[in-house]
Amino acid sequence: MDSSAMPVWDLIVIGGGASGMSAAIAYQRACRDARKEPGTVLILEKNDRVGKKILATGNGRCNLSNKDMQFSHFHSHEKSFPSEVLDLVPQKESLIFLEELGILTTAEGNKMFPVSKTSSSVVDAFRFALDDYDISLIEQSSVTEIKKEENFIISTLDEQTYQAKQVIVACGGACAASLGTTGDGYRWLSQLGHRVYAPKPSIVQIVTENAVTKALSGLKLECDLSLIAEDVVVARQFGEVLFADYGLSGPAVFQVSGEVSRRMKKNQLSVPMKVTLQLFDEATLRSLRSEMIRRREAFADRTLDHLLLSILPAKIGNMILKTALHRPLSLHIASLSDADLDAVIRTLRIWSFDVIGTRSLEYAQTTIGGADCSEFDPKTLESKIVSGLYGCGEVLDVDGDCGGYNLQWAFSSGILAGRSAYARAFGGV
């Protein structure tokens, strides 16, 4: 269609995820607060419904923020960029925003969830708000190109074309492609002159030398995990670790996985890395050594696998013994020297796994990298290269730690982008 004959939307938001829906609502809310007619706002969403990724968050419970809002939980090549945005739309403001949509929150430890502990209720609240705020929505509409002429011209896979005065790119990152996020935004932003840092997976499983993890696949334990790069501890996390065919998974592993990704170039580690697991604290290790000395006498004729009986799940205990002692478990406990017992304690303190890398973006919960934040104004999230163009959420080079930080970023940055688009159109908020 000739672009002069097309309707011109005030704002088109590309992507109906957490950041895109927040942006569209924030724009309309600013109109309402200023007692203006609502703008003409359209969300184009690739999936057959909005918020599919929100449904998957927090194992279906939607861990939407965290009480510990230290800025060190957010990462970007532009170190101060996330905190500048979060200063403008702090957690408190985003929680009020959610509350006004009907999403009340509660905390479990530091992690924050909707009171319903159900992701679908969050998506429902957003959907109703899109109606309330006169936001148009076209689903199954996959954007393929954005061009800037007098207005923005947006083309979709089903050969539709839309025209808008302003555009917010909120199409997410490049992880979990099955939920619609295939890094499309990087291509359009590059075409419009933006630099994009190559996407890497974070909050993802770690691939290790796997003979041991494969043998223990499906078992889990709580322990103190350290991630070590060139003999320096670069991350530590206490929590659950799950053994798997390819390596290690579980919350503690997810939390440190970004540090592995950041040290990978072309799918290879740039420095040698290992994960070590400390299975017991120092005081417990001391009493365990005394217990093993007692067992060496009391259970002298029993086989080695009785040394850690009921102290660890049998399969894990046996693997510790094999790793520490390098001898058949059919031997008698009486055959163990003090040095052998020390070797077992050492392995319980530092059970080491050589890291090969991480699993791919498809398995990750968030994307490291994305559109270079130095090319966006942190006060508005407007592009410094193309006026009237904004970025928010995961498409930007910002990633958060595991624990609600990525949704917090999506909400805060979405609200800021929507509010800024309003301010640019009408002046002031």
Ligand X SMILES: Cc1cc2nc3c(=O)[nH]c(=O)nc-3n(C[C@H](O)[C@H](O)[C@H](O)COP(=O)(O)OP(=O)(O)OC[C@H]3O[C@@H](n4cnc5c(N)ncnc54)[C@H](O)[C@@H]3O)c2cc1C
Binding site for ligand X (CB under 6 A): 14-20, 44-47, 52-53, 56-58, 63, 142-143, 170-172, 176, 179-181, 184, 365-366, 393-394, 404-407, 410
CB of 246 to ligand X, least distance (A): 18
Amino acid at residue number 41: V
**8 Å CB contact between 333 and 306:** yes
Burial 256-282 (b: 16+ CB within 10 A, else e): bbbbbbbbbeeeebeeebbbbbbbbee
Report the residue number, 318 or 383, with the smaller CB distance to ligand X: 383
Residue 90 is given by DSSP the state: -
* Count of other CB atoms within 10 angstroms of residue 2: 6
CB of 412 to ligand X, least distance (A): 11
Residue number with the smallest Cβ distance to ligand X: 17
CB of 420 to ligand X, least distance (A): 16
**8 Å CB contact between 170 and 417:** yes
Give the Cα separation of 429 and 30 in Å (integer).
6
Report the residue number, 73 or 165, with the smaller CB distance to ligand X: 73
Residue 186 is given by DSSP the state: H
CB of 64 to ligand X, least distance (A): 6
Q: Are strands 8-14 and 161-169 parallel, antiparallel or unpaired?
A: parallel
Give the Cα separation of 60 and 117 in Å (integer).
8
Q: Are strands 206-208 and 196-202 parallel, antiparallel or unpaired?
A: unpaired
Q: Are strands 161-169 and 389-391 parallel, antiparallel or unpaired?
A: parallel
Give the Cα separation of 81 and 100 in Å (integer).
27
CB of 315 to ligand X, least distance (A): 28
CB of 170 to ligand X, least distance (A): 5
CB of 224 to ligand X, least distance (A): 23
Report the residue number, 156 or 318, with the smaller CB distance to ligand X: 156
Backbone angles phi, psi at 352, to 5 degrees: -105, 140
